[in-house]
Amino acid sequence: MTNKKILVALAGQPNCGKSTVFNALTGASQHVANYPGVTVEKMSGSYRYNGRTVEVVDLPGTYSLTSYSPEERVSRDFILHEKPSLVVNVTDASNLKRSLYLTFQLLEMEIPLVLNLNMTDMAEQVGVVIDTEGIAEHLGVAVVPTSMKNGQGKKALFNAVAAAAEGGRKAAVRIDYGVMEPFLRDIEKRLADETTMPAFYPARWVAIKLMEGDGETRNLVRADSPRAEHLLRFTERLRGDFESRFNEAPELFIAHRRYREADDIERRYITPGRQAVGTLSDRIDRVVCHRLLGPIILVGVIWILYYLSIVQGYHITNYTWPLLAKIRSLAEAVTPQPGFIEIPMLRALVLWFVDSVNALLNYIPILFILFGLIAILEDSGYMPRMAFIMDRFFSRYGLHGQSTLPMVLGGIYVGGCAVPGVMACKGIPDERSRLATILIIPMLNCLAKVPLYVLLINIYFAAHKAWAMFFISTISLLIALPVSRILTLTILKDKETAPFVMEMPPYHLPTMRGVLGRATERVWLFIRKITTIVAAVAVVLFVLLQFPGINDERQVYYDAKKDKAIADFLSQIEGTPFADDLQGENLMAMILYWKEYKNARMLTKGPEAMSTLNATYKARNPVFFRIVQPGKDKVAKQANRAFKNLYRKRQDLLREIRKERIDNSFLGRLGRWPEPVTRFAGFNWRVNVALLSAFAAKESSVATLGALYEPEEEGEALEARMARGEAGFTSLHALTLMLFMVLYPPCLATSIAVKLQTGSVKWMLFSMAYPMALGLVVAVAVFSGGSALGLTGLQAMIAFYGLALALTVATGLLKEKERYS
Amino acid sequence: MTLDELKPGGWCQIKRISVRDRLGQRLMDMGLCPGLHLRVVRNAPLEDPMEVEIEGRFISLRHTEARFVEVEGHDQ
Ligand SMILES: Nc1nc2c(ncn2[C@@H]2O[C@H](COP(=O)(O)OP(=O)(O)OP(=O)(O)O)[C@@H](O)[C@H]2O)c(=O)[nH]1
Ligand SMILES: [Mg+2]
């Protein structure tokens, strides 16, 4: 017995239970989904058996092994290039005949194979009887029946794997391709004479693939031999000959022969069961895919998805937010304490960092529920039905039936999140539609855009709030659809498309373990991949906002103001018993004490809790407490008034400094730089800065505006501050700003998701650049056009809506170019 | 006639797949093999795509794709 590691690949058609077998073998919890092709990446795990380590790789489910789809390429390349010790071919025993189509292709790759007949429980249920020994003998491979969902047959599979790894390859059957055999022999001979291919790949398999006209195999030949083109011209000629002689395309002929062989095996070794399979699913589909009920149920499902994740998930954040707030207070406590107007750089950086990460972590409850619900949709088998119902509509815009879920997640109405939306695009088989979907999702209404909409609508469309909200909720779709159509007709024109043809798998009841497992796994992925990068960029943004900072001259000015404020305060309390207690260091301590007390009071409810709170603070510092809560004490009241005054002056100073720092900062300069252009859209540099900061996370736009428009009195709402700060602002300004936000480039986290899903930085950059350009064009057109025509914001809004609607209808009616000829 | 002309409930036998490459291969891979019998189960709410049952498997495809499946209609 050697100690070499055994590498086992699990291959099989979608939904035959590969992932279930994988989990049973390795004990890992891996995707178990009732959705064809959900495992697009391969997963690996390992176990030990009889003292040897066996590494198992779960390949994506495929019906065949052509090079037309990514799943099939992944599976095939793995077997071809990684050269596993053996393949376990997982099949659905209740419908073995159709699984054999893939089995023959695996056998042609001349790799040791164990045929696993899974789901024997299902087969038994419908009365299918299989002569396993007969099949084993006929095919020349080990056959192992299992029912892995119940863990039956695991031991036998372990043994068969070990034995096959020992035994190496035995002669297995080969399909007789009849009239094509002479053609295959010719190619094999040329391969042996003119290339080194037979040393690396099974020659007969290469010959068959070349007869099929397989693109990847042609590339393999090209990579191998300088005389490849010569050889490939020869195989093309053979293909032409074959077709004219036998009146059937060679690739169709080959597929046909494989089915005939499967038929033959079925006739000899399988007693068919009752034709009962699928009828329950069919009965369900009579309702779920019904002309009227189907769409209603679809809307209902989407509504539940929103309701549970966005609405209820938001409620949960009320409970989780205090946890995150604790982390912040902890950071506040351990970093250097602030001075009267000096905020230590380290403290500012740490707090900024914690705030940025917290903003994202706050979404975790929502994402967890969302991912759990998606897992249920996937496992149940509803997703392909969703695609079935929506395909007609979406395909008019160059999208795909399977774009439905990503778009729902992205926020078709108000309140989605582009990150899970973009991540859900993975399953769309059509490359062109997939890219189009990824590119338009950021335009939908993500949750974080809403605060800015609400802010602007409350100020500038107060009389028509409901209509304005309806406008903004639906306009994004009316922009996204035509944009998608235009993108697919232009930039994405030459991207690969795939046939829609897909299986509607039978419905399954999702399992608790599968759903929770996947939700956790995806949330974890989110934390790992997204949050780390967001954290890194938060630091960069911090630098852009902090530097170069306040210059010396201004610093002197602020210091003078500070000294004056303190001197005023001290003179006001001179002669009181407090004067001694508030000198030097103590003054700062008092300020922090005051702030902490106020914050603590805000979080305390009920008279009892309040009195305990008061007792604690009194015990901590009785003198300070008297100032904070003077009661009827005259002298304390005087001190209290003076202190409040000082405290407010400090707040004002801090805000003034912050504002000046942002004004001066690199980001501030960046905001001024495009002003000559954005002027035509009605954006001044302040708005520009807010928009720039939205790139980190959309909700930052409102936070930055909050910093830029300082309140005149404590607690003044941002609405009022902004209305006052931008006296020249009209509803038309607000409209353009909202439209620009609709078209705003994806936020940082989404950009990372785009890069992950497209696998290319180029597409990520494009996804950031084109909405920016489009947004500017739209904003300038609406603002300048609206101003020229003397329209109010509301009039411009109605006009724009009409235009967008017309464009959506028009692009939807554009005639589709014939895909197949 | 071709598969896209069939109405829900209609039965037929596949005669020939008249498209090659990607689509032809995909139709074959999904089990639409000449000689087999199939039933049109339903059309989607917006008429397209259509769903067919073949050998106990349910397949949905667009009408533009079904045009390349040559069939001969029959009852049952
Ligand atoms: N009745 C029964 N169901 C099973 C058995 N094994 C798996 N299943 C179910 O079949 C469905 C599909 O299982 P998966 O393991 O996700 O199938 P897969 O081959 O990995 O699917 P893809 O990755 O999508 O190709 C799940 O709902 C499983 O619970 C079995 O032995 N008996
Ligand atoms: Mg799987």
Give the mutation candidate from A122, A820, A821 for the B interface (greatest B CB count, under 10 A): A820
Strands (E), A294-384: none
Ligand nearest to the CA of A18: 1
- A6-167 maps to CATH 3.40.50.300: yes
Nearest residue (by CA) to ligand 1, atom 17, is A17
- Judged by CB atoms closer than 8 Å, whether chains meet at B53 and A500 is answered as no
Of B19, B25, B62, the CB nearest to A500: B62
Distance from the CA of A525 to the center of ligand 2, in angstroms? 18
Residue of A nearest to B24 (CA): A252
- B21 near A CB under 8 A: yes
Of A68, A212, A255, the CB nearest to B33: A255
- Residue A122 CA, closest ligand 1 atom number: 1
Strands (E), A108-222: 113-118, 129-130, 142-145
Which residues of B are less than 8 Å from A95 in CB distance? Answer: 55-57
- B27 near A CB under 8 A: yes
Cα atoms in the 13 Å half-sphere on the side-chain side of A102: 31
Of A251, A275, A285, the CB nearest to B20: A251
- Residue the block writes with tokens 């893939």: A102
Give the model's pLDDT for residue A714.
Answer: 46
- A325 closest CA partner among A302, A358, A292, A287: A358
Residues 6 or more apart in contact with residue A342 via CB below 8 angstroms: none
Nearest residue (by CA) to ligand 1, atom 5, is A149
Which residues of A are less than 8 Å from B62 in CB distance? Answer: 391, 395, 499-501
- Judged by CB atoms closer than 8 Å, whether chains meet at A499 and B28 is answered as no
Q: Contact, A167 vs A160, CB < 8 A?
A: no
Low-confidence ranges of chain A (pLDDT < 50): 1, 31-39, 711-714
Which residues of B are less than 8 Å from A65 in CB distance? Answer: none
Q: Please give the DSSP secondary-structure letter assigned to residue A449.
A: G
Q: Contact, A349 vs A355, CB < 8 A?
A: no
* H or E segment to which residue A64 belongs: none
CATH number for the domain that contains residue B20: 2.30.30.90
Which residues of A are less than 8 Å from B17 in CB distance? Answer: 252
Tell me the pLDDT tens digit for each residue of A193-245: 988 988 899 999 999 999 999 999 999 999 988 888 999 999 999 999 999 99
CA distances from A124 to A145, A146, A277, A562, B55 (A): 12, 12, 12, 86, 18
Distance from CA of A384 to the nearest CA of B (A): 9
Of B24, B25, B49, the CB nearest to A388: B49
Nearest residue (by CA) to ligand 1, atom 7, is A17
Collapsed DSSP state (helix, strand, coil) of residue A272 = coil
Tell me the pLDDT tens digit for each residue of B31-51: 999 999 999 999 999 998 999
Residue A341: φ, ψ to 5°: -130, 0
Distance from the CA of A404 to the center of ligand 1, in angstroms? 24
State the Cα–Cα distance between residues A108 and A432, nearest whole angstrom.
Answer: 32
Residue of B nearest to A68 (CA): B22
Distance from CA of A88 to the nearest CA of B (A): 20
State the Cα–Cα distance between residues A494 and A432, nearest whole angstrom.
Answer: 8
- A256 closest CA partner among A273, A242, A270: A242
Of A68, A259, A384, the CB nearest to B25: A68
Give the model's pLDDT for residue A713.
Answer: 46
A86-92: strand order across its sheet: A43-49, A52-58, A6-12, A86-92, A113-118, A142-145
Q: Which residues line ligand 1 (CB under 6 A)?
A: A 12, 14-20, 32-39, 61, 118-119, 121-122, 147-149, 508
Q: Tally the domains of chain B.
A: 1
Using H for helix, E for strand and C for coil, what is the string for B7-71?
CCCCEEEEEEECCCHHHHHHHHHCCCCCCCEEEEEEECCCCCCEEEEECCEEEEECHHHHCCEEE
Residues making up chain B, counted from first to last = 76
pTM of this structure: 0.83
Q: Contact, A681 vs A632, CB < 8 A?
A: no
**Domain coordinates in residue numbering, chain A:** 6-167, 178-246, 293-336+343-489, 552-663, 671-813
Which residues of A are less than 8 Å from B4 in CB distance? Answer: none
Which residues of B are less than 8 Å from A92 in CB distance? Answer: none
- Judged by CB atoms closer than 8 Å, whether chains meet at B60 and A500 is answered as yes
- Residue the block writes with tokens 């176990």: A47
From A10, A20, A75, mutation site for ligand 1 pocket: most ligand atoms within 8 A of C-beta: A20
- Judged by CB atoms closer than 8 Å, whether chains meet at B23 and A255 is answered as no
Distance from CA of A181 to the nearest CA of B (A): 20
- Residue A35 CA, closest ligand 1 atom number: 24
Give the mutation candidate from A216, A282, A388, A391 for the B interface (greatest B CB count, under 10 A): A388
Distance from CA of B46 to the nearest CA of A (A): 6
Residues of the domain holding B21: 3-74
Tell me the pLDDT tens digit for each residue of A572-629: 777 777 777 777 777 777 788 888 887 777 777 788 888 888 888 888 887 778 777 7
Distance from the CA of A648 to the center of ligand 1, in angstroms? 65
- B56 near A CB under 8 A: yes
Which residues of A are less than 8 Å from B66 in CB distance? Answer: none
Give the mutation candidate from A252, A280, A298, A816 for the B interface (greatest B CB count, under 10 A): A252
Distance from the CA of A711 to the center of ligand 2, in angstroms? 56
- B30 near A CB under 8 A: yes
Distance from the CA of A320 to the center of ligand 2, in angstroms? 33
Residue of A nearest to B17 (CA): A252
Of A252, A389, A401, the CB nearest to B20: A252
Give the mutation candidate from A105, A264, A283, A504 for the B interface (greatest B CB count, under 10 A): A504
Q: Is the pLDDT of residue B5 over 90?
A: yes
